[in-house]
Amino acid sequence: MVKWDENWVEVFTLLFIVLGFIISVFLRNISLSLTSIMLGGFLSARVYYFKKSSEPILPFILMIVGFLIGYLLGSFWISRIWVLIFFAIGYAISYYLHKKEILVIFKSKNFIR
Q: What is the pTM of this model?
A: 0.86
Task: Compute CA distances 83 → 10, 68, 90, whole Å.
Answer: 24, 9, 11
Confidence of residue 55 (pLDDT cuts 50, 70, 90): confident
pLDDT at position 101:
83
End-to-end CA distance of the chain: 49
pLDDT at position 2:
64
In angstroms, the CA 23 to CA 72 distance is: 10
H/E element, 91: helix 80-99
Mean pLDDT, range 94-105, rounded to an integer? 86
Radius of gyration over every alpha carbon of the chain, rounded to an integer in angstroms: 15
The predicted-structure confidence for 66-90, as pLDDT tens digits, reads as follows 999 999 999 998 999 999 999 999 9
